[in-house]
Amino acid sequence: SGCGICTKRCPFKAISVINLPEALENPVHRYGQNQFELFGIPAVTSGDVVGLIGPNGIGKSTIVRILSGELRPNLGDFQDPPGWDEIINHFRGSQLQNYFQRLSKGEISVVHKPQMVDRIPRYVKGKVEDLLTGIDSDRTDEVIETLEIQEIMGREISNLSGGELQSVAIAAAALREADFYYFDEPTSWLDVRQRLNAVKVIRSLAEAGKSVMVIEHDMAALDAMSDYVHILYGKPGAYGVVSNRRGVRVGINTYIRGFLREENVRFRKHEIEFKVKPPRVGEEGDILAEYTALSRAYPEFKLDVDEGTIYLNEVITAFGPNGIGKTTFAKILAGVEKPDEGKVKKKIKISYKPQYLSSDYTGTVEEFLYANAPSYGSNLFKSEIMRPFNLEEILDKPVSGLSGGELQRLAVAVALSREADLYVLDEPTAFLDVEQRLMAAKAIRRIIEGSNSSAMIIDHDIIFIDYVSDRAMVFSGMPGVEGHASAPTELREAMNAFLGEVGITFRRDKETRRPRVNKPGSFLDREQKELGEYYYLK
Ligand code: ADP
Ligand code: ADP
Ligand code: MG
Ligand code: MG
């Protein structure tokens, strides 16, 4: 049977390509018999940031491992791998010929920020300042300042949070002297402001004439940092194909449309449509729940929440820096944590997806769904949850062996399958790839629009937030010390308050309507700041 997106019988269960090029020949690399195959490899050019966009398991990290010299490409011959001469000859006439020539002789220097920063403490010991000041660079102060990590310089690397580790890893990579820089998923764990700080540092390398490649699932960040993009398509886990290089705007729009015109490949049935939603007039809607002003104090942190109203059938997003009390607020709504003062006025049924997920369940995904998803097996579950979250492909896996993205999909799917008045989802896009983020956003909207419920979603991905939100609330204050949450308001108002603090402006792409970061200091950036319109809805 097929994958549900095309009607043809195809050999793949969850294929993501609808019309495949007839002949896929000459792989760049194949891991082994019946193992993943990579077709094509992008070139990096000096003074540019080249972005890679595509689902998990499609070969992005493989590309970076090949280009950084960690993995020698075998041209598909895993039994009798070719030598460098044959590899170089394979790429003759292209930029990669010269690249591999120099790489094979050890003539080029590369820096590779790995995908899994949480593994760094295993092999890097000591304090942040030992690591960063130990790298000989005349940009040390500037990079530390741009990434806003001055405060953590004295901390042990082993005690850093995920977001702090990511910023330190980006700093360490950027400070090293090299010709080629590879950043594999630099924004995981980061809040919006930190993501844009990372964008600045990565762009500064290209502006200094370096060659940079990034793998990134946050489309707003990818858009802001890249000059060009390659789209990767194929069948995750089986094979991946690298598209032609496109300018970043056209490339991301092409990705959103799901159709590669030049290559004549459709890899998604539908375009993702960004709609500019008209502001909701709150007073006209039915009220789902109201809460009074709330507060919660820990020994070192205090949260104050303004009183607010949640309307029926709306999606509210909440955003702000890390360590500002978003999760604490989610827990109060979910009833997991009691406020010191204030209360939620009406008893409502909550389905809660916590930020941190544990996978100590001993059975398979299917067993977990049987036990925890009340509607599992129904047609509605199949169409509204199973398919968008692509659960079919992980049904037989043990829950304890799931990757971060797989566990996230399962957790969000289970939360959405419960009957509830309010769905509280804390960082549902963490560890999801770009395609899964869009599918999750669509699925959430469909469920909220089709049932008598609402959702409160905490997230850091602006494109996801824009797609999913009716209204929004902003958290501000001093991370780790005090936090303040505004009442839910119109998305535009909330964005203006938030982006004003971060100091960046967005416009909308004329064709796809997706939000795009304005270049700091550009005409639009200055004009919008003057008008106080940080987030253009037009
Ligand atoms: P991405 O970065 O796009 O998520 P990767 O390049 O990490 O994808 O992996 C692509 C595919 O290759 C995956 O299916 C992965 O399981 C497989 N793969 C990665 N490394 C190896 C390896 N050393 N041996 C066999 N298969 C591998
Ligand atoms: P966010 O979700 O915005 O990153 P959190 O709500 O998780 O923020 O945390 C806000 C602050 O409260 C952090 O400094 C955190 O260390 C602190 N905090 C959270 N939970 C507790 C707790 N149970 N005891 C003490 N401090 C806590
Ligand atoms: Mg990867
Ligand atoms: Mg949190």
pLDDT in tens, 260-269: 998 888 988 8
Ligand showing the shortest atom-to-Cα distance for residue 319: 2
- Can you give the pLDDT at residue 23? 62
CB atoms within 10 A of CB 181: 24
Q: Supply the DSSP symbol for 394.
A: G
Rounded-to-integer distance, Cα 495 and Cα 497, Å: 5
Q: How do residues 288-337 score in pLDDT, each as one tens digit?
A: 999 999 999 999 999 999 999 999 999 999 999 999 999 999 999 999 99
When comparing pLDDT for 356 and 538, which is higher?
356
Beta-carbon-side half-sphere exposure of residue 30 (alpha carbons within 13 Å): 18
pLDDT band per the 50, 70, 90 thresholds, residue 77: very high
Mean pLDDT computed over 218-247: 95
49-53 vs 228-235, strand pairing mode: parallel
Q: What is the distance in A from the centroid of ligand 3 to the CA of 222?
A: 15
Q: What is the distance in A from the centroid of ligand 2 to the CA of 325?
A: 6
Q: Is 44 helix (H, G, I), strand (E, B) or coil?
A: coil
Ligand showing the shortest atom-to-Cα distance for residue 53: 1
Which residues, listed in sequence order, are joined to residue 471 by a DSSP beta bridge?
316, 490
Q: Judge if the beta carbon of residue 36 lies within 6 A of ligand 1.
A: yes
Q: 490: closest CA among 537, 424, 538?
A: 537
pLDDT band per the 50, 70, 90 thresholds, residue 14: very low
Q: 234: closest CA among 478, 95, 471, 55?
A: 55
Q: Judge if the beta carbon of residue 528 lies within 6 A of ligand 1.
A: no
Q: Judge if the beta carbon of residue 404 lies within 6 A of ligand 1.
A: no
Which residues, listed in sequence order, are joined to residue 37 by a DSSP beta bridge?
30, 239
pLDDT band per the 50, 70, 90 thresholds, residue 187: very high
Q: Judge if the beta carbon of residue 282 lies within 6 A of ligand 1.
A: no
Q: Judge if the beta carbon of residue 326 lies within 6 A of ligand 2.
A: yes
Q: Ligand 2 pocket check: which of 326, 328, 475, 484 to mutate, most ligand atoms within 8 Å of Cβ?
A: 328
Written as six digits, the tokens of 280 are 């909701």
Q: Judge if the beta carbon of residue 323 lies within 6 A of ligand 1.
A: no
Q: 185: closest CA among 163, 215, 221?
A: 215
Rounded-to-integer distance, Cα 441 and Cα 465, Å: 8
Closest atom of ligand 2 to CA, residue 328? 6
Name the residue with the closest Cα to ligand 2, atom 22: 298
Mean pLDDT computed over 203-227: 97
Question: ipTM of this complex > 0.90?
Answer: yes
Q: What is the distance in A from the centroid of ligand 3 to the CA of 60?
A: 5
- Can you give the pLDDT at residue 6? 42
Q: Judge if the beta carbon of residue 515 lies within 6 A of ligand 2.
A: no
Rounded-to-integer distance, Cα 492 and Cα 494, Å: 5
Ranges assigned E (strand) in 348-487: 350-353, 422-426, 454-458, 471-478, 482-485
pLDDT beyond 80 at 71: yes
Share of the chain above pLDDT 90, in %: 86
Q: What is the distance in A from the centroid of ligand 2 to the CA of 155?
A: 18
Name the residue with the closest Cα to ligand 2, atom 20: 328
Q: How do residues 418-463 score in pLDDT, each as one tens digit?
A: 999 999 999 999 999 999 999 999 999 999 999 999 999 999 999 9
H-run or E-run covering 244: strand 239-247
Rounded-to-integer distance, Cα 340 and Cα 463, Å: 35
Rounded-to-integer distance, Cα 493 and Cα 159, Å: 37
| C-alpha torsion sign, points 533, 193, 464, 16 | positive
Q: How do residues 466-477 score in pLDDT, each as one tens digit?
A: 999 999 999 999
Ranges assigned E (strand) in 45-154: 49-53, 110-113
Written as six digits, the tokens of 112 are 């590779």
Q: Judge if the beta carbon of residue 351 lies within 6 A of ligand 2.
A: no
Rounded-to-integer distance, Cα 184 and Cα 189, Å: 13
For the chain, give the mean pLDDT: 92
Beta-carbon-side half-sphere exposure of residue 527 (alpha carbons within 13 Å): 7
Report yes or no: 91 and 29 within 8 Å, Cβ to Cβ: no
Q: How do residues 300-312 score in pLDDT, each as one tens digit?
A: 999 999 999 999 9
- Can you give the pLDDT at residue 281? 55
Q: What is the distance in A from the centroid of ligand 3 to the CA of 143?
A: 25
Report yes or no: 121 and 158 within 8 Å, Cβ to Cβ: yes
